Amino acid sequence: MNPILKSLLVFVFLAAAEFAAEDFAEWRKKAETGDANAQFNLGVMYDNGMGVPKDDAEAAKWYRKAADQGNVWGQYMVGMLYHYGEGVLKDLVQAHVWYNIAGANGHERAKKNLTSIEKEMTDSQKEKAMDMARELFAKLPKEK
């Protein structure tokens, strides 16, 4: 992932969550009960090794749980992980799907990333991604 973007994301997370390493147990407990924001926060913690060992696969798991509940930042980060192959296999179709969903939910950077990766995709890949995004978007809850 772009180091500048990752640093910015960490800064935003720290400012918003007033993170301290000792909060891990509390975030984990909330995440395991289905709190999408806590799931996203755990993703950030594992993604950056904040209070826990860095673990891209574990980050991907928690980002996806948040994304599946309509958390727009989780959706964006799932797109990023697929775009760069961190914690998951690189897959531009899946990256497109998640950027598309995050963009539809108002995430401006996701819209820009979507435009960027389309330059690397075939028409059939873009068509497949659009079909998948429409189907998934209809099933996902909207962020509150």
Structure confidence at residue 100 (pLDDT): 96
State pLDDT tens for residues 111-143. 999 999 999 999 999 999 999 999 999 898 876
Instruction: Work out the percent of the chain whose per-residue pLDDT is above 70.
Output: 83
pLDDT of 82 strictly over 90:
yes
What tokens appear for 6 in the block?
């990752």
- Could you tell me the pTM of the whole model? 0.84
pLDDT of 7 strictly over 60:
no
Residue in the structure block whose two tokens are 């060992």: 53
pLDDT of 35 strictly over 60:
yes
The answer to whether the CB of 82 falls within 8 A of the CB of 95 is yes
Enter the CATH code of domain 3-139.
Answer: 1.25.40.10
State pLDDT tens for residues 84-115. 999 999 999 999 999 999 999 999 999 999 99
Helical axes 92-104 vs 123-139, angle rounded to 10°? 50
The mean pLDDT value for 14-23 works out to 54
H or E segment and range at residue 27: helix 24-32
Rounded to a whole number of angstroms, the CA Rg of the chain reads 15
pLDDT of 30 strictly over 50:
yes
d(CA 129, CA 123): 10
- The backbone torsions φ and ψ at residue 85, rounded to the nearest 5 degrees and listed phi first, read 70, 45
Domain positions in the chain are 3-139
